[in-house]
Amino acid sequence: MPTSALAFDHTPLASEVSTTLSVGAGAAYEIFADTVEIPRWLPLIQQARVVARQSDGRASRVAFTRKLERGSLGYTLEYTYDPATYTVKWEAPSDSTMVLSGEARFIPLSPRACMMLYRVVIDLPVVDDLITDELDGHPASLVVSEFREHLRRLC
């Protein structure tokens, strides 16, 4: 009797959202690009540690610890920045066991307002009840909401 492996058709979760912010695009970009500060405004993240920096001092590789319902998950992201378009992009290294990539773009609307476009793609090697149950499969909404509140506290 031939044996066959079970094949799972699994697609990473993609989530995106846009919102207006009552701060200029340059300021929003700089605050978002400060990766070490992410645990201050995103409660899911316990810790962020810069592993490598670009020549301009920006973090190019950051190790994160993420809270899960039962424990935590450590992972690393590689960052790129485009100050001309106020865009921050990140992705897990190619040898990672997880898929995590995305971008945040800040489009100027006026000197004191911008549109934030946020996109994330996630496929974790563990069950994440928060994303599937509490966030209804839409993690981008949580990140943008928490970032907006952080800006309100700062500005």
Which tens digit of pLDDT belongs to each residue from 75-129?
999 999 999 999 999 999 999 888 889 999 999 999 999 999 999 988 766 555 5
Average pLDDT over the chain reads: 86
Q: How far apart are alpha carbons 97 and 67 in whole angstroms? A: 18
CB neighbours of 73 closer than 8 A, spacing ≥ 6?
65, 66, 124, 126
For 112, which DSSP code?
T
CATH classification code of 18-154: 3.30.530.20
What pTM does this model have?
0.84
- pLDDT band with cut points at 50, 70 and 90 for residue 7: very low
Q: What is the mean pLDDT of residues 11-28?
A: 91
Q: How far is CA 54 from CA 18, 77, 131, in A?
A: 28, 14, 32
Q: Where are the domains of the chain?
A: 18-154
